[in-house]
Structure 1
Amino acid sequence: MENKKIKIHFISFGILAAAAVWYAAAQFFLVPKNEMSLNSSIKTGKKVLANCEKIYELDPARLKFSEARKEVGKFRYTTVVDKLARAHGIGPSDYDIRTEAVIKRSSRQTQGATMIIKTVDMMSLTSFLNEFLETWPGLEIDTLDLRSNDAEDDWKATLRFTYTVK
């Protein structure tokens, strides 16, 4: 009987020792990884927050676009195009824009427009389009037709846009 008690004590001690070793190993290997992961996440979060603050500082109007995106009627091609075109070196006399009526289908509203830029260099056009599409995610370019104006880096661009709100 004594031998059985001793065996049970040795087995219990062995199980406790194994559990203690496992716990120590887990603390040694897993906790530092989790802590490094947490520190990395905190650093990333701080960078994102800093970038958001920069966006708010440099262009606070960008935050107001979310309200205008709720309804096509609040999106005005002429106003948006005029602001962005000027910012990218495309003068008001260099382009014409024609807008179409708002079309409502079930839960969607769409509005099309055609823009003809008489003279533009490629850098101005691409930066204009990049900011236009980045600022207004519901906007799509249906067609883009480029024709050379017989001068180096001087183009005539015809664009067909569709703006959609779901």
Structure 2
Amino acid sequence: MNQIVNDKLSEARINLLQEISELSDVQFNSKPELDTWSIAQVCHHLVLVEEATIKAIAWRLTESSSIKGERKKIENIILDRSKKLRAPKIVEPDENPFKVQQIMASLNDTREKLMTFLSTIEDKSILAEKTVKHPALGEIFLDQWIEQIYLHEQRHIEQIKEIKLLLE
């Protein structure tokens, strides 16, 4: 994994934490509409996605075969918020309320797990050679699974900003 990806992961996480750190627990758990997520649920979803990403990459690394395919422009797909993407069950957030500090700790914990996991991969070039099917993006390379973390966070940071405006 290169420094640019590290920087983008860090930048997205800093921006996310800045968006939520000043919220009260009530604001954090308030929904602008009944059928939408609260900011807390958006953040819990991000925790679940990061955990699922680690599992997907770890699972694929145990397989010996490599698949060469075409790289997708995942940035265009993920950052296009005009297209609604439905979260798979495995990464749907809990309905229960969360405390801001609890979610911030979970976000820090999953990021630490991700970085620790990635540091154990001796030959990082393998990440550009193997693919795994992503629920929204289809078959993508493992290094793109890592990139989708910060792109996905950027997408949801914009959603959080919108929710904050709706709650004012």
Please state which band the TM-score falls in when normalised by the shorter chain. Answer: under 0.3
Name the structure, 1 or 2, with higher relative contact order (CA <8 Å, separation 6+). 2
- The two structures have a TM-score, normalised by structure 1, of 0.26
Instruction: Point out the structure with max Rg over C-alpha.
Output: 1
- The two structures have a TM-score, normalised by structure 2, of 0.26
Q: Name whichever structure is richer in helix by fraction.
A: 2
